[in-house]
Amino acid sequence: TALGGVAGWRFALWCVVALGAVLAVLIPLLVRRVPLAPPATLRRRLATLADLRVLALLATTVFMIAGFNIVYIFSAAVTRPSTGGSGSLLAVLLLAYGAAGIVGNIVAGPLTDRFGSRAVAAIALVGQVVALAVLPFVEASFAASLVVFALWGIAAFAIAIPVQHRLVHVDPETSALALSWYSTAMYVGIAIAPPIGSLALGAGGAEAVPVAGAVVTVVALAAFLLSYAARATFRSRSVPTL
């Protein structure tokens, strides 16, 4: 973001190309052969989706990813009142978001082990809802926006681990297939975020974008809680709830 603001978006993208070229050379040299499990049939992969708990968790993933991407993608428009359109100031906000996200990612695992995935994911999702809902009210203040972006980063990055933990716990025997669907759900969330954000921007201006993100995150929270409501209909009902 900072490079784009200083030297233009083309220069920033060429930097990404250069880094990609370097990694394309280094990865085959440095990464050893990874052992792979036998490939699963398409029927076996689709059978994983017969579990409503898995579907609920995949829906959680779609909407939690869409929720923060709606705002992240349109962050320049959302933060314009506090940054004055400065790419450098926007970069500072995004840096705070990312740095705080590292903290959220680090603490989410131990907290999930101690308190369970339901509590940690629910608190993190509520945290994202609150941060996004508050954002329009602090848009005129860069300092306040910086704090909200940092808190948002902690919450947003803390969501994935407990959701994945729950997904694995639903049926450990098929967890690898469930996690492969998790990756698919992530990309679906990324794909639907821009049109939702664009509709919100067109309908209500920049202030409506974080509101849309908050609403979508509420849907993610509902889907996550639904994964527990559906648990008794499947064979692993005797597994303790986490």
User: pLDDT tens-digit profile of 122-134?
Assistant: 999 999 999 999 9
Compute the half-sphere exposure of residue 179: CA atoms within 13 Å on the CB side of its CA.
Answer: 14
Q: Specify the pLDDT at position 64.
A: 95
Token pair in block for residue 227: 């994964």
- Confidence grade of residue 184 (pLDDT, cut at 50, 70, 90): very high
DSSP H helical ranges for the chain: 2-7, 9-30, 42-47, 52-73, 75-78, 80-83, 87-115, 117-134, 142-170, 175-204, 208-229
**C-alpha separations of 136 from 141, 179, 197, 219 in Å:** 10, 35, 15, 20
Distance of CA 143 to the CA centre of its chain: 24
| The CATH number of the domain covering residues in 44-233 | 1.20.1250.20
pLDDT in tens, 59-91: 999 999 999 999 999 999 999 999 888 888 998
Mean pLDDT of the chain: 87
Quote the pTM value: 0.82
What would the pLDDT profile of 164-176 be if each residue is shown by its tens digit? 999 988 888 777 8
Residue 189 has pLDDT above 70, yes or no: yes
- Domains of the chain, residue spans: 1-34, 44-233
Quick: pLDDT tens for 23-73: 999 988 888 777 777 777 777 788 888 888 999 999 999 999 999 999 999
Q: How many CB atoms lie within 10 A of CB 13?
A: 12
- Indicate whether 237 pLDDT > 50: no
Nearest of 222, 231, 189, 227 to residue 72 by alpha carbon: 189
- Whether 1 has a pLDDT exceeding 90, the answer reads no
Contacts 24+ apart (CB under 8 A), 84-93: 86/5, 87/1, 87/2, 87/4, 87/5, 87/6, 88/2, 88/5, 88/6, 89/142, 90/1, 90/5, 91/1, 91/2, 91/5, 92/146, 93/142, 93/145, 93/146, 93/149
For the CA atoms of 128, 130, 132, 136, the dihedral, rounded to the nearest 10 degrees, stands at: -170
